[in-house]
Structure 1
Amino acid sequence: MDCCTPANSVETAKTECPSCGEKGKNVQLITLKSLLQAAALETIEPDKSYVFCSNPPCSIVYFSSNHSQTFVQNDLKVPVYQKNMSADVPVCYCFDWTRERLIQAVGTDQKPADQIKAHVQAGRCGCEVNNPQGACCLGNVNAFERSLKEE
């Protein structure tokens, strides 16, 4: 099973962010191990479960389910799409589709989501180790493309 198959959504237990109160989504420990800077990685507690907060204005990216630990954007090796509005931030981390690249592709009638989907179906994605949300990015890509077409 790969990261973009619906069965991966088994781990959808939600809990509230200790900072903003919004519901977050559980992420696998491998996501944190892959994306945290060394100093932050040295502090994770492998026996705890961690949650991703996607609320854009909230500074917290990950928190432990018992709220004893939090990680912010500076603790990660990559910018977080949901929390960083820069054009060069990936929307799709596996295949480097940034906001800017998506805008250019959509402007020339390319179909980035179809290209990404083909890669996913070929078993090439690694969202659980590349994407801070620890899940498939296609929803983000599709939503971003829709927002461009609505402008």
Structure 2
Amino acid sequence: MSNCCGPTKTKQICPECGSSCKSVGMLTLYHQVRFPENQSIVTDSYYFCPAKTCPIAYFSNAGNTIPKQHLRSYQSIQNDALCYCFDIDTAQYLSASNDHKAEQIKAFIVQRTKAGECACEIRNPSGQCCLANFKRFE
């Protein structure tokens, strides 16, 4: 079961763009960063920068940085993903909204998350629950 909706994350300011960034676990980094870059990640406290235009994905307290282009989910970030677990982006959700089917999508995601069938900690580069993306979008 995913731990994405668990304890509150700590925050830091992105050294590149100044955005407020929340902490992520090492598990998230190891699954998000592509090979071979994932082999050289230094264990530390890392933060995810959510700013789409910022080139930095993760930065650490010790000054280590990982660019967004090194992430498996880089294309999903560029496509404004809402739910990384079930592969739903903003354009798809807007289209469903126009067809009055957006609530069905959201209900499906809520149901799967409550059943522990999401993988936000691994699939979402922020390591956080994807449901928060819907709240921000709406």
RMSD: 1.8
| Structure with bigger RCO (C-alpha 8 Å, 6+ apart) | 2
Question: For 1:114-145, what per-residue CA distance to the aligned partner results, in whole angstroms no more than 9, with x for missing partners?
Answer: 2210110111001000000110011112332x
Question: How far apart, CA to CA, are the structure 1 residues paired with 2:120 and 2:95?
Answer: 23
CA distance in 2, matches of 1:58, 1:15: 15
How does the TM-score come out when normalised to structure 2?
0.88
SS of the residue 1:51 aligns to? strand
Unaligned runs of 5+ in 2: none
Give the letter for the 1:104 counterpart: S
User: Is the deviation greater in 109-118 or in 126-135?
Assistant: 109-118
Name the residue aligned to 1:61: 57
Fraction of identical pairs, as percent: 32
Contact 2:55–2:67 (Cα < 8 Å) also in 1: yes
Q: Aligned residue for 1:79?
A: 74
Matches within 5 A, 1:45-124: 45-46=42-43, 48-67=44-63, 69-79=64-74, 84=78, 86=79, 89-110=80-101, 111=103, 112-124=105-117
TM-score, normalised via structure 1 length:
0.81
CA contact (8 A) 1:51 1:64 kept: yes
In the alignment, structure 1 segments of 5+ residues that lack a partner are 147-151
Per the alignment, residue 28 of structure 2 pairs with 31
Aligned pairs, number: 136
Displacement over 2 Å in runs of 4+: 1-5
